[in-house]
């Protein structure tokens, strides 16, 4: 049995953190449908923010309750990437976020996921880096702020003034993290 504060992963599947990650994934079609509908875009954006903002909840609960699991170590980042990708695509479809800005995020995510899949096939994985977490947090602020402002919701000018600078910093950090992951991938493949 896991003890509180035990960070060694278990093979358990049914844990509270895994349920939270699964619920976050289940909310993706809901916020997608709300965002792309002109009448409910603001509500969809709010739900998108709530889903991506709970990114830290499942991991924190897992560590504090000793429910860290192998499934959770995969499910949590997958939930993050899926929610961000779905939100970006919905916002581009709605015309609330530029395609070029979304493409910068999505291209990096595809590359990192491909590397992760390659490692998983070899029975290995790499841990998330702090700069990757910081970059993701920045994008979780920037993308909704830019979309909010682009949709003309009050206070649009402030949302855009906050969103774009944070986006610029976060996307650079995102690619710095990707470079670090590429080095980690290379070392892990060499070790495997």
Structure token digits, residue 47: 């739900």
Residues 6 or more apart whose Cβ sits within 8 Å of residue 146: 96, 97, 101, 159, 160, 163, 164, 167
The reported pTM is 0.82
pLDDT in tens, 121-179: 877 777 778 898 899 889 989 999 999 999 998 899 999 999 999 999 999 999 999 99
Which of 52-66, 86-100, 127-141 has the highest average model confidence (pLDDT)?
Answer: 86-100
Share of the chain above pLDDT 90, in %: 49
What's residue 7's pLDDT? 54
Decide: 114 and 61 in contact? Cβ < 8 Å. Answer: no
What average pLDDT does the chain have?
87
Residue 5 pLDDT exceeds 50: no
pLDDT in tens, 98-108: 999 999 999 99
CA 67 to chain centre: 21
């Amino acid at each position: 049995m896991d003890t509180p504060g035990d960070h060694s992963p278990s093979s358990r599947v049914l844990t509270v953190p895994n349920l939270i990650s699964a619920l976050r994934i289940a909310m993706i079609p809901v916020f997608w449908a709300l965002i792309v509908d002109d009448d409910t875009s603001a509500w969809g954006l709010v739900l998108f923010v709530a889903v991506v903002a709970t990114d830290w909840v499942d991991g924190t609960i897992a560590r504090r309750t000793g429910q860290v699991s192998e499934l959770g170590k995969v499910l949590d980042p997958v939930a993050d990437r899926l929610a961000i990708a779905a939100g970006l695509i919905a916002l581009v479809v709605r015309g609330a976020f530029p395609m070029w800005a979304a493409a910068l995020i999505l291209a990096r995510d595809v590359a990192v996921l491909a590397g992760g899949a390659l490692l998983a096939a070899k029975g290995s994985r790499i841990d998330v880096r702090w700069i990757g977490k910081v970059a993701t947090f920045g994008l979780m602020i920037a993308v909704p702020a830019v979309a909010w402002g682009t949709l003309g919701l009050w206070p649009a000018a402030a949302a855009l003034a906050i969103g774009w600078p944070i986006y610029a910093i976060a996307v650079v950090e995102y690619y710095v993290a990707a470079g670090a992951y590429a080095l980690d991938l290379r070392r892990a493949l060499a070790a495997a």
